Amino acid sequence: MGYKLQVTSDKHKILAHLHICSLIFLLSAFLLFCSSTSFAQIKAGTGIISGDFSFNAMLYIQDTIIGAQQVDSKVRGNAWLNLNYTNGGFSSGARYEFYLFPLIDFQNIGYRGQGITHFFADYKNDFIQVTGGYYYEQFGQGLTFRAYEDRNLGIDNSLLGGRVKVNPYKGIQLKGIWGIERHNFNFNYSQRNDNVRGLDAEIALADFISKLENKGITLTMGGSFVSRFEKAEDKMFDIYIDTSKYFYYYNYHAISDFTATDKPNVIRCQGVIPSENIPQNVASWATRLNFGVKRFRLEGEFTSKINDPNLSNDYIYKKGEALLLTASYSMKGLGISASFLRADNMDFRSQRNASPAFAALTMNYIPAINRQYSYQLLGNYSYASQPSGQIGLQGQINYLIPKKTKVGGKYGTEITLNYARFNDIRKSFVPLSDTIGTITGTEGYTSKFFGFGKNLLYQDIGFDISRRFNKYWKLMLMYNYINYNMSLQGKNGILKGNHVGFELTYKIKDIHALRVENQFLFIPRKIDLEDKDKGSWCFLLVEYSIAPKWFVTVSDQWHFGNEKQLHYPNAAVAFVNNTTRISLNFGKTRAGILCVGGVCRTVPASYGLGLSITTTF
């Protein structure tokens, strides 16, 4: 045993050593590359090579007060190098990702490894496009299929396989895809038992019916079909049943064994859902519409998925469905939009046992539709989309009080009003589940399509007003009231808060500007939350910029309403030269969630020195 431990620790040392070497190596390789290209595109033969590089590293410091844990390697970093070659209609490319000692939040979601994670060759002309290798694709609004990448969240759902796009006639586009979905850094594709195939067609009707175009009507329609194959295996189960309530359980499943327990009437049942009862092919289809007449527009997509027992739905056989509808009316100076979203059992992944806690292996995209705030204090209470069950709506008005009027001022005044609400869906569990004590293996539940569930998940109402007074001063004021169900972060209680703030920009000289942001999030003390979530917050940021190259920022988040009165100070310097951005920051980050596009992941509290380099060449 002792010997084994010795080996592990040696291995660890070697790895740590290797890791610092690799980081240095990677950086120097990149610098060599940059010096060779001088940030200009390169001509290779008659083609052109271009690419991008990003490197984010952090030196972690332990801070028990904010909960920043000691991490096993203090220096961690993510690096990514993309190279593309284009020659007329032909293009190809490859990406190298180095996440062997990734930033701690990437480590936590299992996005860890290194290698050539992406390569492709692509040919296209006016009629056809053919792609082989890894590719990204979206059908319609993505409710049934979306392969995409977001490196800030550690999401890469690209498919490895082939794709064909055909434009047989003006206004018509057809797509066909086949592939195996990327799963973080697991490259054992030969051992994979799953794949994805799909077809999509879209037609722009206004291109065919000139009458429509003359009347100012635009109409685009589309439909898609996606199927996932995964070899079925027997699903074992091991559950405890109260025989006084759920006597009939024995009759339902193939129980191989049951044993008595300490508690009266409770028995332990072990058994198997045989593989022939688990669908290997799961089909999903979607239909969509984009209709516009003059200032009015309606955009929507509906999707449905056949029985797909999987980990996210407790292995039930119910169908899944989702609808996203947005109507809008807009003219110069005014935009009004209203959206509706319902998703029920639409967590669609290429493996049925994939954990719903992570974004990996997701095949579709059910977005959150609430307004995406860039305000620091609300960032931690961003709504995370619930593909398994949510119903919600959002309305927004953007209005510009005209320029050169008394009320609007010389430059006009912008006003945005916004409301959003999400609830869970109403479920009536099937009687059989009551009889047998579990929904696993049954139809699960029924749910009324437009029924809002009892539990509020998220709500916000607010406005902001932004006005430029003259060449030098610009002011923005904002107010929001939010309700956020802490169950979205696995906690109890509903947070209620008033968010007020302002942002002032002062252009000192031509290219020198000062920006001050001050926000408060008032959370009443009487709300029942976990201790560390209790109490109000304050955020202050001061940024001085010299356009277009320099940014210096200092900020602090202060949890002043909490007993602990924690501060999260930060200081950052950024230098930008055309497409290269280098930034250095030092400070503390609070534990919370990071969301982009309604897809979120948790971020642990951290403290340390960060370096980020990104460039496009």
Partner 1 sequence: MKNTLLFLLTFCILTFCIAQEKAKATLPAVDIKTLDGKTFNTRNIQNEGKPILISLWATWCKPCVAELNAIGDVYDEWREETGVVLYAISIDDTRTSAKVAPFVNGKGWEYIVLQDINGDLKRAMNVVDVPFLCLLNGKREIVWQHTSYAPGSEKEVFELVKKVAKEEESNN
Name which of residues 197 to 236 contact partner 1 (CB under 8 A).
Answer: 202, 204, 206-207, 218, 220
CB of 83 to partner 1, least distance (A): 7
> Is residue 158 part of the contact set for partner 1 (CB under 8 A)?
no
> Is residue 614 part of the contact set for partner 1 (CB under 8 A)?
yes
Q: Provide the sign of the torsion angle of the four alpha carbons 397, 473, 573, 569, taken in this order.
A: negative
Nearest CA to 459 out of 492, 484, 430, 478 is that of 484
> Is residue 74 part of the contact set for partner 1 (CB under 8 A)?
no
CB of 523 to partner 1, least distance (A): 24
CB of 142 to partner 1, least distance (A): 5
Among 67, 69, 75, 84, binds partner 1 (CB under 8 A): 84
Nearest CA to 22 out of 106, 85, 78, 91 is that of 78
CB of 230 or CB of 460, closer to partner 1: 460
Find residue 521's DSSP bridge partners. Answer: 499, 537
CB of 92 to partner 1, least distance (A): 12
Q: Provide the sign of the torsion angle of the four alpha carbons 381, 384, 388, 392, taken in this order.
A: positive
> Is residue 168 part of the contact set for partner 1 (CB under 8 A)?
no
Among 52, 233, 242, 314, binds partner 1 (CB under 8 A): 52
Region from 146-154, 433-441, 450-458, 555-563 binding partner 1, contact rule CB under 8 A? 146-154
CB of 85 or CB of 568, closer to partner 1: 85
> Is residue 557 part of the contact set for partner 1 (CB under 8 A)?
no
Nearest CA to 24 out of 13, 14, 32, 12 is that of 32
> Is residue 112 part of the contact set for partner 1 (CB under 8 A)?
no
> Is residue 100 part of the contact set for partner 1 (CB under 8 A)?
yes
Q: Taking CB under 8 A as the criterion, which residues in 16-45 touch partner 1?
A: 18, 22, 25-26, 29, 32-33, 36-38, 40-45
> Is residue 382 part of the contact set for partner 1 (CB under 8 A)?
no
CB of 440 to partner 1, least distance (A): 32
Reduced to 3 states (helix: H, G, I; strand: E, B; else coil), residue 355 is: coil
Quote the DSSP letter at residue 37.
H
CB of 372 to partner 1, least distance (A): 4
> Is residue 578 part of the contact set for partner 1 (CB under 8 A)?
yes
Reduced to 3 states (helix: H, G, I; strand: E, B; else coil), residue 435 is: helix
3-state helix, strand, coil in the chain (%, to 5): 15, 55, 35
> Is residue 586 part of the contact set for partner 1 (CB under 8 A)?
no
Quote the DSSP letter at residue 307.
-
DSSP strands (E only) in 231-333: 235-242, 254-260, 266-273, 281-293, 296-305, 320-331
Reduced to 3 states (helix: H, G, I; strand: E, B; else coil), residue 360 is: coil
CB of 607 to partner 1, least distance (A): 24
Among 330, 355, 446, 492, binds partner 1 (CB under 8 A): 330
Among 59, 67, 112, 148, binds partner 1 (CB under 8 A): 148
Region from 262-270, 274-282, 331-339, 422-430 binding partner 1, contact rule CB under 8 A? 331-339
DSSP strands (E only) in 70-112: 75-87, 90-99
CB of 274 or CB of 548, closer to partner 1: 548
Region from 57-65, 304-312, 343-351, 407-415 binding partner 1, contact rule CB under 8 A? 407-415
> Is residue 581 part of the contact set for partner 1 (CB under 8 A)?
yes
Residue 296 has a CB neighbour count (10 Å cut-off) of 12
Nearest CA to 482 out of 594, 376, 366, 382 is that of 382
Measured CA to CA, the distance from residue 54 to residue 396 in angstroms comes to 35
CB of 309 or CB of 320, closer to partner 1: 320
Region from 109-117, 312-320, 477-485, 601-609 binding partner 1, contact rule CB under 8 A? 109-117
Region from 248-256, 325-333, 423-431, 525-533 binding partner 1, contact rule CB under 8 A? 325-333
Give the strand pairing for 75-87 and 473-485: unpaired
Q: Taking CB under 8 A as the criterion, which residues in 408-447 touch partner 1?
A: 411-412, 414, 416
Q: Taking CB under 8 A as the criterion, which residues in 115-134 touch partner 1?
A: 115-116, 124
Quote the DSSP letter at residue 402.
P
Among 14, 334, 571, 573, binds partner 1 (CB under 8 A): 334
Among 77, 102, 198, 367, binds partner 1 (CB under 8 A): 367
Structure token digits, residue 131: 């792609």
Measured CA to CA, the distance from residue 577 to residue 140 in angstroms comes to 37
> Is residue 547 part of the contact set for partner 1 (CB under 8 A)?
yes
Measured CA to CA, the distance from residue 421 to residue 482 in angstroms comes to 10
Nearest CA to 496 out of 519, 513, 480, 509 is that of 480
Measured CA to CA, the distance from residue 211 to residue 120 in angstroms comes to 42
- Going residue by residue from 488 to 527, which x/- string records binding to partner 1, judged by CB under 8 A? -----------------x-x--xxxx-x------------
With vertex at residue 593, the alpha carbon angle to CA 587 and CA 594, rounded to the nearest 5 degrees, is 80
> Is residue 539 part of the contact set for partner 1 (CB under 8 A)?
no
Measured CA to CA, the distance from residue 59 to residue 73 in angstroms comes to 9
CB of 401 or CB of 430, closer to partner 1: 401
Nearest CA to 594 out of 47, 53, 103 is that of 103
CB of 601 to partner 1, least distance (A): 16
CB of 507 to partner 1, least distance (A): 5
Among 159, 232, 324, 482, binds partner 1 (CB under 8 A): 324
CB of 558 to partner 1, least distance (A): 22
Structure token digits, residue 482: 């939010």
In the numeric block, the tokens 């430029």 are attached to 468
Is the omega angle on the peptide bond into residue 548 within 30 degrees of 0, that is, cis?
yes
Q: Taking CB under 8 A as the criterion, which residues in 236-295 touch partner 1?
A: 290, 292
